[in-house]
Amino acid sequence: MGVLVSVARGIQQRLSPNEMLGRVNVSARILTRGSMVVGALLGGALATMTSVRWSFVFAATIELSAAAAMWAILGRAAVDPNKEAWDRPSTG
C-alpha cells in the first residue's frame, strides 16, 4: 500500500500543471478517504449477510479488477520521463 501511494502521488505530480497541483492532491485525497468509508460500510454489510471470508474474496476481486484497469489505462499513457513537471508550459 505504501508503494502504491508513493507511485500515485508521483504520477499526479508529473501529470498535473503546477498551478493545479494542490487542487489535484486534495481532490484525490477526498476521493480516497470517501471511498474508504463507503468500502468499510459495504464490507461490513456483506460480511453480515454472508461471512467475513466472502467479504474478503469480494474485496480482493474488486482490488484486482481495479489494478488491471489502471494497468491498462496507465500502460497506454505517454509520459516523457525526460521532461520534468516544472518544464511544462503554464496553463493560464
Q: Encode pLDDT of 21-62 as tens digits.
A: 889 888 988 988 898 899 899 999 999 999 999 999 999 998
Within-domain flag for 81: no
Within-domain flag for 59: yes
Within-domain flag for 82: no
**pTM of structure:** 0.57
The number of distinct structural domains making up the chain is 1
Q: What is the dihedral of CA 39, 42, 43, 44, to 10 degrees?
A: 120
Range of the domain at 9: 2-76
10 Å CB burial of residue 43 (0-12, 13-18, 19+) is middle
Within-domain flag for 14: yes
Residue 13 clears pLDDT 90, i.e. is over it: no
